[in-house]
Amino acid sequence: MSRASSTDENEAVKPPLPSGVVAFVKRDCPTCELVAPVLEALAKRVELTVYTQDDPEFPAGVERIDDTDLSVSWHHDIEAVPTLVRVESGREVERALGWHRGEWEALTGVADLGEGLPDWRPGCGSLSVDPSRAPELAIRFSGSKLGARRVEIASQEDEQEAFFDRGWTDGLPIVPPTEGRVLAMLEGTTRAPDEVVAVVPPDLAPCTVEKVAINAVMAGCKPEYLPVVLAALEAACTDEFNMHGLLATTMSVGPVLIVNGPIRNRIGMNSGKNVFGQGNRANSTIGRALQLTVRNVGGGRPGEVDRATLGNPGKLGFCFAEDEEGSPWTPLNTDFGHDAGTDTVMLFPGEGPRTIVDQLARDPESLARAFAVALRSMLSPKMVMAFDAILVVSPEHSRVFRDAGWSKADLLAKLHELTLMNGDDLVRGADGIAEGLPEWAAGKQLPKFKPDGLRVVHAGGGAGLFSAIIPGWANGEMGSAQVCKEIKK
């Protein structure tokens, strides 16, 4: 293994453009085919240099320079073809993209160009900015800007087995984090690759944007997901969320990510059918990227610092979006002081979801009671105020509250009322159950949740009278608080 140097000995020198008129074209472009006769005519009247990106024999009738390695196109930021450039004394002074008769005549000083052609046609994308090629070109021509160490995989070594052997995975295969993929991932954020995002427990290792990007590649993220992963890591590594404690507890909890704001739709997150399940790339990989970062950068591995007795499948990655558009209530992030329409990710220290079934309730009082009975038994019917919870209300259930005009505050107030617990039932030994509270609880009415300990989120498919509870971990000084972070590009 070797660490990349700060400069690349093979970094290419920017090739100068010759003076006169310079054209960039490719055969696989209808507009370039259209203007081939125009270029042939120009070559007879001006000093013309033509760079061709894909076929050294195109266009016929003019002298051509082979740019199929795209070095000239890349260094001169050619975004579309055809591009016409006027160069004086080695300096670009004017540029025209696509075919526009008036612009080409003004740039070249030649009148009556393209007789019989339409006045305007848009060009095609330059091969030098093709997403499938751009990362490799950036590595080849500018030198890698990555600071991470390189790990060489032997030619006969199965790379997936190598990843498992090195302990980089969560038990599932990962996407190999090549330089090209990591550079492409970094395009998803404006933050510098060497910026430290957080100090990641349990090893308290500084984690840069680049390291998050590496783990996001491994998780299968798209570049546009990266800002969500970065915000989630920032939230996870706060003292309030206490990621170290969440790892070290023997309870089955892990970070649950809930995304609000327009970014949900921009990156294609699921807030509807099968919202907690498989099948959506953003939901599945964003949470996984956070967990891989904690594992690979912070050292949070199961069987070591991660001491969960049972764990839960959500520890691979548990992430979903709130259905704001279909909700009768204000979004979750507004409960944390953010304005509606702000892109945020909320982290909750939770277990896997527990389904609530009520297919008969048609009034809010009855449905709230069904919710309350399930909430009272969460984790243990003998425990109060020690654990938080998220109530995920599906569209068919939320419609009951919408039709009755109940706000989120109305529902929460009713649930807090209905989950008041009789202390006589909570003390140790009551109902023959050794677990329970000390004798001081006898004769008192105790709330199941602290005032902000229960959150309501709207999500799920439009058919099915099911909602869910996501139980939480300890919420005191030794536990975790819910943390909501704004997502920034």
- List pLDDT tens digits, range 49-102: 999 999 999 999 999 999 999 999 999 999 999 999 999 998 999 999 999 999
Enclosing domain of residue 308:
179-486
Distances (CA, A) of 205 to 170, 201, 294, 298: 19, 7, 10, 6
For residue 87, being part of any structural domain is answered with yes
Asked if 211 contacts 297 with a C-beta cutoff of 8 angstroms, the reply is yes
Q: Kindly report which listed range (49-53, 269-273, 323-327, 429-433) carries the lowest average pLDDT score.
A: 429-433
Q: In this structure, are 131 and 201 located in the same domain?
A: no
What pTM, to 2 d.p., does this model score?
0.81
For residue 145, being part of any structural domain is answered with no
Confidence of residue 149 (pLDDT cuts 50, 70, 90): confident
What is the pLDDT, as a whole number, of residue 141? 85
Q: In this structure, are 229 and 344 located in the same domain?
A: yes
Residue where a domain terminates, one of 140, 159, 189: 140
CA atoms of 43 and 63, how far apart (whole Å): 8
Q: Is the pLDDT of residue 7 over 50?
A: no
For residue 229, being part of any structural domain is answered with yes
Find tokens 């107030």 and name the residue.
413
Q: What is the mean pLDDT of residues 382-400?
A: 96
Q: In this structure, are 113 and 195 located in the same domain?
A: no
For residue 172, being part of any structural domain is answered with no
Residue where a domain terminates, one of 92, 123, 140: 140
Q: Is the pLDDT of residue 6 over 80?
A: no
For residue 164, being part of any structural domain is answered with no
Q: In this structure, are 108 and 250 located in the same domain?
A: no
Q: What is the mean pLDDT of residues 482-489?
A: 96
Residue where a domain terminates, one of 140, 168, 195: 140
Average pLDDT, the chain: 93
Nearest by Cα to 319 from 197, 189, 215, 459: 459
CA atoms of 65 and 110, how far apart (whole Å): 23
Q: In this structure, are 129 and 261 located in the same domain?
A: no
For residue 222, being part of any structural domain is answered with yes
What is the pLDDT, as a whole number, of residue 156? 85
Q: In this structure, are 349 and 468 located in the same domain?
A: yes
Q: Return the percentage of the chain with pLDDT > 70, whole number.
A: 97
Q: In this structure, are 132 and 253 located in the same domain?
A: no
Q: In this structure, are 416 and 353 located in the same domain?
A: yes
For residue 124, being part of any structural domain is answered with yes
Q: In this structure, are 90 and 229 located in the same domain?
A: no
For residue 163, being part of any structural domain is answered with no
Q: What is the mean pLDDT of residues 376-395?
A: 94
What is the pLDDT, as a whole number, of residue 144? 67
* 9 or 243, greater pLDDT: 243
Query: How deeply is 74 buried, as exposed, middle or buried, from its count of CB atoms within 10 A (0-12, 13-18, 19+)?
Result: buried
Report how many domains make up the chain.
2
Q: In this structure, are 383 and 300 located in the same domain?
A: yes
Other Cβ atoms within 10 Å of 18 Cβ, number: 13
Q: What is the mean pLDDT of residues 243-260?
A: 96
CATH code for position 64? 3.40.30.10
Q: In this structure, are 96 and 190 located in the same domain?
A: no
Amino acid in position 179: E
Q: In this structure, are 41 and 104 located in the same domain?
A: yes
